[in-house]
Amino acid sequence: MIKAFARPLPLYLLLCAVAALWIDCSRIHLGQTSDSLIPILVSLQQWTPFYWEQSRFGMLVPLVALPFDNPLVNLLVQDGLMIFSGLAAIGLLTHFFVRSKAWFAAACGSCAGMILFLAEPLRCDYFLAQPYGVSFALGLGALLVLERRTTGPRWALALIMMLLASWVNLAVGPALILVIAARWAGQRLAWRRAPARLVALVLAGTAVGLILERSAPFRDPQVTRLAPAARWLDAGAALVSNTLHQSGPAYRSALLLLAIAAAAAFIVAAGRRRRIIAAVLVSTLAGAMALLALAAISRWTALNGFSPRYVYMALFTLQTGLIAAIVLAFRTRAASASTRRWGRLTASTAALSILAATGWTYGTPSLATVRASLTERCEAAADAILPAQCTHVAGDYWRVWPAVYHAIRTSHEQGTPRNVWGMTYRSLPTQWAWAADLSAARIAVLGHDQHSEFVEKWGLAPANPAKTLEILAPCRCLSPFFHKLSALADRR
C-alpha cells in the first residue's frame, strides 16, 4: 500500500482526496446556489437519470449518495466527490499532455494556482455546480487506462468509464476528441502515435450518451445545435472577455506572469528539452483554443450569455501548459546536479503546494463552519417555513431551492424529519408528490417568476380553486457572489 502511494498518480489522487475533504468542510458552502443544491434534492427526494427538467447532466453523483438520507451528510458526500473530481481532472489532463515525470509537479502547481487565484464565484461554480470535473476525470482516466496497453480488462474498464463520463456530460466526448487531436498535433502528427483506439473509445461512449440524452423525458433540442457560423468569432471573443473579467484581477495577473515565465523557459532551454517544452506548449495551447472554439460554436452557449463555465477546461488546459513548460525547464537546469534527493524534494514541495493553497484559501475545516455557511446562504424566510408548517415553497427559482433544502435539513436536525416540496422551475419531476393532495397544503411564496406562476396554476387549478397561498415577506438575494451570473443563467 505504501509503495502504491509512492507512485505519482496514486499519490496525486490521495492529495486530491485530502484537499477535497478539507475544502468540503470549509466556507466554500457560502457559494451554494439553487444549481448546486438541486443535485442534493435529487438524491434526497426523487432521483432521476438526468438533472431535473433537462437532459444534459447525468445524476451519477446523486446516485452514489442515495444511501445517505441525512441532508447534511448527503451534501457533504456529493460535494466532496465533486471537489475531488474537479481537482483530479486537472491532474489527469496534465498527465495526458505531459509525457514525463514532470506532470506531477505541474499538476500540483496548476491546482494550487487555481485554488489561490481564481475568483471565488468561478471556483465555487466549478467545484459545486458544474459536471465538468466528474465527466473529464472519468473521460481522461479512460484514455490513460487504454493509452499504453490494450488488454481486454483495460478495454472493459475504459469503456465503462467513458460511458459514465458521457452520461454525466454529453459534451465531454467532442471535447476529448479535440484534446486527443491537440496532443497528437504536439507530437507532429506522427503516424505511429495515431490515437485511433482512443478516438474509437470516445466515439463509442458518446454514441451511448447521445442515445440516453435523446431518451430523457425533459429534452431541449437546443443543446446539440450549432450557432450560425457568422457569430462564431464574436462568440469566442465574448467568452474570452467574460472569462478574463470574471476570473478576477489576481488570476489575470497570475496567468500573465505564467505566460512570461513559460516564454522565458522555452528560450533558455536547449536541445531535446526545448523540443519537449515546445511540444507541450503547442499541444496545450491547441487544446485550449479547440475547447474554446467548441464552446463558441454552440447555440446553448449563446443562450446562456457566454458564461465562463463553458470554457473552464480550456482555461485549465492553458494554465497547465504554461506551468508544465516552467517545470520542464527547471528540471533541465537542475539535471547537472541531479540527485534522487533533489527529485524527492521537488515532488514533496509540489505536493505540499496543494495543501498549503487549500489552507490559505479556506482556513481551518470544521462542521460548524459548514453549518454556519449553509445557514447564512439560505433564505432567512426559510426559518419561518417550519414553524408555519408549510409543506410547499413556491416562487423565484434562486430562492426556492435553498429554502427547501434548509427546511429539510433543519427538520432533520430537530429530530422531526419531513419533506418540503419546491414549486418552481425544475420541480416537475417531483409533481407526483407535491401535487398529489393539496387539500392540506400550506404554500410559502418567496417572490414570483414565470415558471413558478405556471407551476402554481397547473397544480392548484381547477382541482383546488379555493386554495390560499401562505405569503412570506421577501428576503435578500441568495447569493451576491452570483447575482450577475444568475441573471444570465435562468436556463442553465
Q: Which residues pair with 392 in a beta bridge?
A: 421, 443
Query: Which are the contacts of 116, defined by CB distance < 8 A and separation ≥ 6?
Result: 250, 254, 357, 360, 361
What is the rounded CA–CA span in Å between residue 420 and residue 439?
15
Q: Residue 492's pLDDT band (boundaries 50, 70, 90)?
A: very low
Q: Residues in the chain, how many?
A: 492
Q: Which residues pair with 131 in a beta bridge?
A: none
Nearest to 140 by CA among 258, 287, 302, 358: 287
Over residues 127-174, the pLDDT tens digits come to: 999 999 999 999 999 999 988 777 889 999 999 999 999 999 999 999
Given a cut of 90, whether residue 450 has pLDDT beyond it is no
The pLDDT of residue 449 is 61
| Helix H or strand E encompassing 444 | strand 443-446
pLDDT higher at 470 or 324: 324
Given a cut of 60, whether residue 185 has pLDDT beyond it is yes
Most confident of 8-17, 57-66, 322-331, 449-458: 57-66
Mean pLDDT for the chain?
84
What is the rounded CA–CA span in Å between residue 293 and residue 314?
10
Residue 216 to residues 220, 221, 252, 357, Cα–Cα distance (Å): 10, 11, 40, 41
| Helix H or strand E encompassing 280 | helix 271-296
Determine contact, residues 405/37, Cβ cutoff 8 Å. Answer: yes
The pLDDT of residue 340 is 53
Nearest to 137 by CA among 164, 157, 109: 164
| Helix H or strand E encompassing 101 | none
* DSSP state for residue 466 in the 8-state scheme: T
Q: Residue 30's pLDDT band (boundaries 50, 70, 90)?
A: very high
Given a cut of 50, whether residue 462 has pLDDT beyond it is no
Over residues 217-230, the pLDDT tens digits come to: 887 776 777 888 88
Residue 422 to residues 36, 379, 460, 488, Cα–Cα distance (Å): 15, 14, 14, 22
Determine contact, residues 276/335, Cβ cutoff 8 Å. Answer: no
* DSSP state for residue 468 in the 8-state scheme: P
Q: Phi/psi of residue 220, each to 5°?
A: -110, 115
The pLDDT of residue 441 is 79
| Helix H or strand E encompassing 451 | helix 450-460
Quick one: cell of 388?
408555519
